[in-house]
Structure formats: structure tokens, C-alpha cells
Structure 1
Amino acid sequence: MREEELHRLLILAADDVRPARPAASGWERARRLRRARRAAGTAVLAVALLTGGAAVALRPAAAPPATTATPSRSPNPHPVPVQTPPADLAYPGHPLGRLGDPVGATLSARPVRRALALHQPVDPGSGAAGRIRVLGDDGVVRDLDVVTPAPTRDAGGNEAVPLKTGSLSPDGRTAAFAQTDEVIVVDLTTAAVRRHPLKGYLEHVLWSGGRLLVGDDDTTYELDRATGSARKLPVSPWDAVAPDPAAPPDVLHELGGTPPKGTRVRWGSDGTYRSIGAVDFRALPPGHRVEEFYGRGWQRGDRMARAGWITTGNVSGLEGVALLNAETHVVTHLLDLGRDRWKGCCEVLGWDSDGAVLLRHNPGGLLRWRPETREITGVTRNLFGAVSLSAG
């Protein structure tokens, strides 16, 4: 369409219908004007679109608007969970929740059928240790009045409370306490006490099924409680993992070292066999690992649990608990307990009957952790001091 024709249509579209004309001719006039307006509007729109389209076609392509990339977050970005406890723990109730109850009897007057735990209170302010207590499966806390073990000490004179995490046997019927040059064994079902002489600054006790292992700084003895005889075992008293009570009696695992190493030790009348392999962190998210283990490790089936200082991403020096496969030493789960706690706060104490890991959660608490279900609940609050459970 030429410019003069477009100009004429625009003038015609701007004309008004005169009300003085007759109605028929007025409606006809109005009809023509409406048609002209529509034609003019269509022409103007077409010219505008053509002109604009040409301008767009000739204009350089504009850069897309800047956007901020937001990384997507999966609720479970890694196949193996790394957990942290909830801010507010639930305490659904547990038999060990009575560990902090007042003493209700003496062991000599009322022996237990089976002990669930031993507890030696320690004042968090002064560090003064109290008498050892026995929690029976009847829920009554008893005073261990038949013997008073002395603190353990090493060659340098450093002392510690005599109750260790491995003191109570898996069946809850016997307790053992390492002492300098001897080990004390108490039958909790009869309150009978026996003392077995062994050379050394003994500090560690550990049950392997019905057998008792006793160790000093660098020596581990296997004690025959029936005869009192002992033989040395090539096992680290610090790193030996408390075995599953149902495991073969001549197999122990060691877990320790920096960087951590895992060792499987088998011994018998025909000698000793050791297999060594590094702890494997490949199943964890990148940057997650255990820097150093501490406390006693505990085995249940093909799994081992032990506390340690961990690194998560770029943050190191955290308290944590690792769950490993006993055969492959692959870390399958990691519990991140944070940094602002007592050093060495969170030692593993064993396994609950339903497969949950039981651990300290200082100051003064016990936790249950079920890695497979991600369930973390409280067991008891304000329980200061040493604890030994009948959890194998």
C-alpha cells in the first residue's frame, strides 16, 4: 500500500457519522465508516508488523537476560547417608534410662539375674569418682559393695576410673576390672569375687565370648578364668574391637591407626594369621572421612562401629561415629556429632538388641542410632561418668 492511500484511509476512518441524516442512510454510512476503520486499522497493523519485523530481523541478536544458577538439591544426594542428630532429641523410653536412678540395694544382698549395665558416677566439676553401680534386668540399681577397684594407672602414673566400656560381659553375668598386676572378676549373679595375678600396668578389659582379654599399654593376655593361667595374644589392647558374642571365638578385628588401618586377626593352637587392609572411605560423599578412631570398637554381625574425629567436606576436627563392614573395611555410614562438645565425647558403648548403636553423647547423655532407618533417639540425660553395657 502506497503512502498516499494509507493517508486517505486514515482520514476516512477519522470521519464521524452525522446524526441529521435519515436512519437508513445513517446506518449505511456508519457501516461503511466501520468497514473503512477496520480496513485502516488492519492496514496500519500490517505496516507496523512488517516494519517491526524488518527491524527485528536486521537488529543484532540480544544477549539473553542474566540469571543466577541455583544448584538442585536432592533429599538424598549420596547413596550413603551422613547423618546429624536432630536439634531436639526424643526420649521414647528405654530400660537403660534407669541408670541414673538412686541405689536401691546392694549386690551382696540382692545379686542380679542379669546386669544391663555398670555405671561409675564422676562429678563433672571436681572429677571425683563414686562407687560402681549395677543396673539389673529388674530395673533396680545396686551398689557394687563386694569390691572397690582402684583407679587404673600407666607407667607414667596417669590414673583413670577402673570401670571400662568392656568391663561387663555380653551375657551380663560377670564384670571384670583391670588393676596393676592383677584383674578382678566379679560374678554378678552370686556376688563372688576372684583375683587373678597378671604382670603389668593393666588398664584394658575386653570379653570375647566367654573369654576375658586383659591388656596394658602394649600387651594383651587371654585369661583362663577356670585355671587362672594366661597367654599373650598378638592383639592391640587399644584397637581390638569387641566381637559379636556369636562370632568365632578365635577371630578378632583391630581398628586404629592414623591414617586408620583395619586388621583381621585369627589365632589358635596352630599359630596366628593377620590380614591387613586400609579403611575404605569411597562409599562416603567426597571429602568425608575418619581422621582418627578413639574408644572401643564394637562388632555386630558383619558391621563394626567406632567413634572418631572426622572431616566432612572442608570442616575437620568433628566428633563422629563410623559404621564399617567388618570384612571389607568399607565405611558405610557416618554420624556427624559436631565440634562443640567434650573432646572424645562420643565413645561407642555397644549394640542394642534391635541393631541400634549405643553411644555416649556428652555432657551426660546416651544415644541410640539406627543407621539403616536414620533414627536417632535419646536414652538418658545427665549420666556423668563411665558406663559399660552388656551390648555385644
Structure 2
Amino acid sequence: MDDELRRYDAIRPFEPEELPEAYDRLLADGQFRAVLAAAVPGVPFEALAGEVRKCKSCLDFQVKFCYGFLKRLVKTASDGCDMDCSAVDRASRYTFVSNHRDIVLDSALLDMLLIDAGFGTTCEIAIGDNLLAAPWIKDLVRLNKSFIVERSAGLREMLASSKRMADYMHYVIARKHDNIWIAQREGRAKDSDDRTQPSVLKMMAMGGDGSAIDRLRQLHIVPLAISYEYDPCDYLKAMEFQLRRDVPGWKKTKADDVMSMQTGIMGRKGRIHYHCSTCIDAFLDTLDPAMPKGELFDTVARHIDRAIHCNYRLYAGNYVAADTLWPGEGYGEHFTEAERRVFEDYVGGQLARIELEGKDEPFLRECILRMYANPVRNNRAALAATV
């Protein structure tokens, strides 16, 4: 292991020589053993442990265990998952910047789809340390090619932490020749009004060499639109909106995050589509190098947003929600009455799952509808702007 990589020991995925010790810890943990048994049912633990130990790299582990689990999950909890990657070169390496719906699956399904598309590798995944509820989870995500976003650091440490993460991202692209996935913002957009935070781009530009434009170009950013027909966590997100409205100082707990991860993984998702936009390198070349940094990051964020919004795949339920909230805007031609009834029944079922003191059903219904409707408005506005 080279000295430069050692700089990132606190945040990076495992290197091959570190795997035996990581396997020892994981295979001795009861919770991980239960997860492994659920992921690969019907196989004795000792046989599974032997197969785990045969994995000589994180990519080996992903291909041998994660890939098969995700394929089975797509069959049982979705109506299919595909990706349009015609705008990118499979032999190149990119930083995929996407909208963020599901805590676990957004990046996990991308890994599966990259393998299916013949990329030859998956991606290193940016994951917040707030989601690492137990030591075995930290080991598992590092085994799954994740690097840690240190969100719990104090204010004094945040600048150094951001700089280290930016340096590491540049190292991954330039030295490890791997891909990266990172969400366009910190946390999920609970109302699906997806906007890239300029601060994410500012962090990326803390690494690399040259001007801010040069540094962003060195990461080869690809805007990635992720579309789920149904979001299994929509009712949990709606409940969170009411709790934030009604309970002063309410904050999510780690248990809430675990619940969201479990629900997102196992819940009904309908159809799933990933769409890669063109790498933004050529767009960056059109920008004035003398542009003030604040204006630069805002401009690049808007460009990423337009690319993501243009490439949403919209389903009947999205249009039903938009037509319900904003009648008269011409969304009714995109669905049938039967499709309206199916989606309304779905929303009713999700609302019934909410157990909350002082349950405000009209407010909660509107929250869920906005989650499905906002991508429609964003898509329409983005397409109009490109004409």
C-alpha cells in the first residue's frame, strides 16, 4: 500500500491485504451473519464463510455476493431495472452525481448495472457516517467499496475532512482508475425536488490541481437520473414532514435511518430506470475561467440539474400526482383513468401505514403527492429550457 493511500485510512474502502482481518470481524458478528444468511438463503454458514474468504478484493466480494443479492431483489421487489448509458464510454472512469431517493439502493443498483453494461468495475460510494450505526456496518460498507463522508465532525474539523475527501476522490479517478458515486446533495430530497448543492461541487474542487474548472474536469462528472416508479419510503418521508412541522426540535434517530434502509431495500419499487447524461467536461470547457467561484459552482449545479431533470423517466403515477395537485396544466393526457385509480389506491395504502399521534391525513397526502409530482414539473421546465 503506497504512502499516499495511507493518508485516507480513516475513510477509504479496504485494500486486498486488509480483507482477512475484516472478514474475521464480520464473520464473528451475529448481526452480519444474519444479514449474510438472508442475502444467500439456504447455504450453510461455514460454506458461506469459506466463499467470503475466497474474495481477494472488494470488487470480488461485490460480484460474488452483492450482485446476486441485487439480481434477486430486482426480481422480487421491482418490475425491472435498466440503465441507459449510451452517452458515456464504458472504458472511461467517471464521478456519477445523481439525485438521491434510496439510502442503500441508489448506489447499489448502479454497481449492478455497471457490471451488466460491461464497465469492468463498479464504483466507490460516498456514504455519510451518520448511517454507520454499528461497527460491523462500517466494515461492511468499506468492503462494499464505500468511502466515508465525515458529517459528524466538529466545525473545526469539517474543512480538513472535506479537503481529505476531495483529495481522495481525485485519487480514485486518477490513480485507482475507478468510478465514484455521490449524491447531488447531503441527504435525500424528501420532496423529490432534486437540486444539486453547490457546496458539493465546492468540496470536489478542493482536490486536484489548477483552477476550479480544471479540478471539476479532472473528476469527469456524469449527471445520473434515477427514477423509481414507487418509493417504498414515501410514507416515512411524509411522516417526517409532519413531525418536523409539529414537534419543535424533532430529529431523526439512527433507528429511523435503519428503518428507512430496510424499507427502501425490501419495499415495492415498481419499475426502476437509470439514465447517464453526457459527461460535463465539454460544458466546463465553455465556461469563463475568470468567473467568480460562487457563480461558477451555481452555474455547474444548474447544468447538472437540467441534465438530471431532462432524463427522468416519468411514470403514470407521477402524472396523476401532478394532475391532482395542479389541474389544468395538461398532465391528464399522460395516464388513463385505470392508472389514476391504481395510483390513488397505492397512496391510500401508504397513508394507512402511517401511525402518528395527531395524524394530519390531508397534509400527509399532499406530501406524498408532491414527491411524485415534483419530477414532472422539473422535467417539463428542463426540457423547455433546452429548446
Q: Which bin holds the TM-score, normalised by the shorter protein?
A: under 0.3
Higher normalized contact order (CA 8 Å, seq sep 6+, divided by chain length): 2
Larger relative helix fraction: 2
Asked which structure has the greater CA Rg, the reply is 1
TM-score when scaled to structure 1? 0.21
